[in-house]
Each structure stands twice: as structure tokens, then as C-alpha cells.
Amino acid sequence: MAILASFVAFLDGAIVNVALPAMTRELGGGITTQQWVVDAYLLALGSLILIAGSLSDTFGRIRILRAGLLIFGLASLACAFAPSALLLIVARGIQGAGAALLVPSSLALITSTFRGPAQGKAIGSWTAWTGTAFLAGPLVGGLLVDYADWRLIFAINVFPIAATLILLKGLSLAVPIPNLKYDAGTTCVPPLPVAPPGTAVSAVTVARPASRIDVIGAVLAAVGLAGTVFALIEQDRLGWGSALVYGPFVVGIAALAGFLWWEHRTPAPMMPLALFRIRNFGVGNIATTFIYAGLSLGQLLVVLFLQEIAGFTAAQAGLASLPVAVISLFLAGPFGTLAGKYGPRLFMALGPLVAGVGYAMMASAAEPFNFWLQILPGQLVFAVGLSITVAPLTAAILGAVPTVQSGIGSAINNAVSRVAGLIAVALAGVMLGGVLDYDSFRRVMVITALLFLVGSAVSALGISNAEARRQRSDAEDGAGNDDGDKSGPVELADS
């Protein structure tokens, strides 16, 4: 269920790019329409994802997940039937708002339900399938554009959404539980309540409806992210001298500074800054910044290079990404399980290193172009590195935060990855020198490899395996207690 919910958001984010030319051929607007079809979705998603994480922790995963699915589904239909470019752009913005509700809530379902090695395995499965959606999206989009109609890339979202809504019927809504206060006055949630006899209460249904929503923090975060992301995307087209660029950028930076100040002083923050003092959460998000900047930049440039320089069709460019999707599907789960058992540090250090080597191999592209020798080997090595990295990275970050804050923890990590990708893609024009050719492609491949190598170094130096060791020790102690129960009573230590 969590996989299906995230699948539609990741698939839609990846499938649109190859359909942009077909959209503008029918609706008009040229490059401006193409940019806003992408930007409207990303701006809404990046601006609202922190708010969505807070809502997930406050009102319950199931309620917010259901709302996100309904919003995303209705907006997808609006995109499919949009009669004009303006209405398509508006519907894409609403889609992004729905996607912001989906990802933190779906991942929080996993982190609230599983712990230890089981959590690593579950996150590995989530990573494999959602990563497959992200990487296979160009193939699906290319096939639909070349052999059917571009509008179908939005219409197909309805089927996984309907399946997920049906599965959600089997889960109860949130069980209200009382709030406690820390000495500092901040709100927290106690362990699961005692259910009435015969009633099953799942961790995924717990909510804290009595706590206040951090409205001021939500507004500051939305304005800050929207302003800075808008400026970074539009600066390549309008230039930093345009008031439409530096105005939103200044407002965005000021709002983000105000957001950090407010989150430090408010008694009930939507983004608890104390989370960043947790070693794996703070270091993991730094690693996420570099790894996802490399992922977003590298994959975008490979797809564009294959179409614009190598002469591939949309379907052929999408097909070229299929080996990456297949490898991720089969390897992400096992590596997530291993990271849950042995700790994430080795995998988070080795995975980005391998992925960086893959991109360095693709920097060999030259005329005469040969996909099988110049791109495919690097893509395969990158796919192995990505499979080693993502599930351990996600498990390390979310396994470090308290279960009741898994929604906002997931939202923060998703916001970091989205903003990192947006910044990298927004600066792609500068890295390319204004033109995409063999020389600029090789330069960007080297930059991408370096981003992954920095992520590897950060992980190797900063990630701790202490939580995995503790959970393994607890599991062994529990097994010992079970053995003791068979031979006699177990004494409980005085509290």
C-alpha cells in the first residue's frame, strides 16, 4: 500500500519530461509552457512537503494519505483533459500538492510499523519499487507518446490510486491519544494507547489531533522554498538581473531565515531542529543533498543527451533507462535487509562511490557515438551503486528519529532531496555552458561523479552503526529471555 501510494508520485515526476514536446505541439506555448508544466509540480511539491509531514504526524498517516491520493487522482484527470496550457499548468500545481501528502505519509507507514532488520527490508522494497517508477518513467512516457497519446501519461495514474484506496479500507483511521509536555513545553506523544478489549491498534493509525499546527512555520517554509526554487529555476531564462528572479530569491531567503528562527523559538515546531542533532539524521541529510543532486542532474542529462545529441526517439531514450530500473528492483531490497542487520555506514559509503564510478565511465562519450560501449556500462555500474545506497540511506535517517516523528522526518528528508535536485537541475545550464554537446556532457558527467563521491565521504566519516548494533543486541536479549521462559521464571530488575 505504501509502495503503491508513492509509486504514482514518483512515476508522474519522471514520466512527464519525455512528453513535453508533444504537449506544446497540441497546446502551444513553446519552452515557457514546458518549463511551467514541470515547475508548477515541483514548486508545489517542494513547498508543501514539510507541511505534509507535520500533518501526517498530527492527524494520522491514513487520513493524510487518503487525502493525498484523492487530490492527486482528481488533478491527474484534470491534466488528462486540460483544454489549454494554462489549465494544464494549474492542474500540475494541484498534483504537486497531492504528491506532497503522499510521500511522507506512505513512508511513515513503514517506519511506524517495522523496526530493525524488518524495517530495512521494508524500506528496501519501498525504495526498489518507487525507484523503479522514477527510472522507468521515461520508458513508459516515451512509449505512450510515440504510440498513443501524451494525455495517457496522466490518466494511467488512476489505476494505482484506485488500488491503494481500496487497500486503505482495511485500515482504521487515527486513534486520538493525549499529548504530554516536555519541560520546555514542546508537545510529544506517548507510546501506543491501550485499546479496548478485542480492538487492534496499529502504530500506523496513531495521531495527535490535540496538538496545534505550526501555521506560521508552515507559511514561512512554503514561501521560502517557493521563492528560492522559483528563482533558481527561472534565472537561466530571465537572468539574475530580472526583478522576477532576484525579488522572489530575496524574499525566499528571508523567509527561510525567519523559518529557522521561528522553529527555534516556537513550543510546537513543524520541523523540530533537535532532530538534526541526532547524528544519523543530520549527517544522512547532508549526504542526501549531494547524492540526490547527482542523481537528478545525471539522469536528466543522460536522457537529454540521448535524444538531442545521439538522436534517440523518446521511447528509445526511455528504453535506455530500463536496465537501471531492473537492477534497482532486484537489488535494493536485499541491500536494505543487509543494512538493517549490519548497519548502514558501509553501504552508504560504498554505494555512492560505485555510482560515481558509473558516471565517470559515461564521461567517455565521444564521436562516433556507441551507446553499448560508452553509456550502457556506466549505467549498469551506476544502477548497482544506487541499489546499494538508497535503502540504507533512507533507513539510517528515518530509523534515527522517534517513531511518532517519522512523518516529519520523512518529509524533511524528502524536502532535502527535492531541493537538492532542483538546485542541481536549475544550475545545469551554467554547468553546460549554455549548450549541450559532447564536451559539455562529459563535463557534467564528471561533476555528477564528484557529487556522488562527496556523498560517499560524508557517509563514511559521519554515519554511525550504533542503532543497528543496539537493535541486534535487543533482539538477542529477547531471544535469550524466550529461552529462559522455557526453563523457569525470569527475574525483572527493579526500575
CB contact set of 435 (below 8 Å; sequence gap of 6+): none
Is the pLDDT at 347 greater than 70? The verdict is yes
Over its C-alpha atoms, the chain yields an Rg (Å, rounded) of 23
Beta pairing partners, 206: 175
Most confident range, picked from 18-32, 243-257, 430-444 = 243-257
- DSSP strand pairing (187-188 vs 180-181): antiparallel
pTM of the model: 0.76
pLDDT at residue 158 greater than cutoff 70: yes
| Confidence label for 191 from pLDDT (cuts 50, 70 and 90) | very low
CB 281 within 8 A of CB 273: no
CA distance 59 to 56: 6
**pLDDT tens-digit series, residues 397-440:** 888 888 777 767 877 888 888 878 777 877 777 788 778 899 99
Q: Which three cell numbers stand for residue 328?
A: 534497482
**Tell me, what's the pLDDT at 82?**
95
pLDDT reading at 450 higher than 70: yes
Each residue's pLDDT tens digit, 466-492: 877 776 666 666 655 555 544 443 333
Return all residues near 460 (Cβ < 8 A) that are at least 6 apart.
345, 348, 349
Quick check: 80 pLDDT over 90? yes
Cell of 126: 519501498
pLDDT at 270 over 80: no
Distance CA 423, CA 430 (A): 11
Q: How confident is the model at residue 280 (pLDDT cuts 50, 70, 90)?
A: very high
Task: Identify the pLDDT of residue 100.
Answer: 85
- Alpha carbons within 13 angstroms on the beta-carbon side of residue 262 total 18
C-alpha distances out from residue 320 to 58, 263, 487, Å: 42, 44, 60
Closest by Cα among 85, 404, 155, 381 to 389: 381
Measured distance CA(264)–CA(259) in Å, rounded: 9
Q: Would you tell me how many other CB atoms lie within 10 Å of the CB of residue 156?
A: 19
pLDDT band of residue 52 (cuts 50, 70, 90) is confident
For 255-266, the pLDDT digits (tens) are 999 999 998 999
* Averaged pLDDT, 232-242: 81
What pLDDT, in 10s, does the model give residues 358-410? Answer: 999 999 999 999 999 999 999 999 999 999 998 899 889 888 888 777 767 87
> Per the omega criterion (within 30 degrees of 0), is the bond before 368 cis?
yes
Per-residue confidence band for 201, with pLDDT thresholds at 50, 70 and 90: very low
Q: What local confidence, expressed as pLDDT, does residue 4 receive?
A: 66
H or E, element range at 207: strand 206-207
Q: What is the mean pLDDT of residues 185-211?
A: 41
How far from 347 is each of 31, 129, 332, CA to CA, in Å? 41, 19, 11
pLDDT of residue 134: 67
Angle formed by the axes of helices 279-308 and 406-426, nearest 10°: 40
Give the integer Cα–Cα distance in Å for 256 and 47: 11
Task: Read off the C-alpha cell for 308.
Answer: 538531442
Q: What is the pLDDT of the chain when averaged over all its residues?
A: 79
Q: Encode burial over 125-151: b for 16+ CB neighbours within 10 A, e otherwise.
A: bbbbbbbbbbbbbbbbbbbbbeeeebb
Q: Looking at residue 387, what is its pLDDT?
A: 92
Statement: residue 238 has pLDDT above 70: yes
Q: Which of 283, 334, 380, 348 is nearest to 123 (CA)?
A: 334
Return all residues near 235 (Cβ < 8 A) that are at least 6 apart.
245, 426
Exposure class string for 52-75: b at 16+ Cβ within 10 A, else e: bbbbbbbbbbbbbbbbbbebbbbb
Please tell me the distance from the alpha carbon of residue 120 to that of residue 215, in angstroms, as a whole number: 34
Residue 55 near residue 151 (C-beta atoms within 8 A): no
pLDDT at 183 over 60: no
Asked if 116 and 100 count as a contact pair (C-beta separation under 8 A), the reply is no
Task: Check residue 131 and give its pLDDT.
Answer: 64
Q: Give the pLDDT band (50/70/90) at residue 57.
A: low
The mean-pLDDT minimum among 46-50, 439-443, 453-457, 481-485 falls in: 481-485
3-class DSSP assignment, residue 255 = helix
pLDDT of residue 59: 78
d(CA 167, CA 199): 20
Q: What is the mean pLDDT of residues 247-254?
A: 95
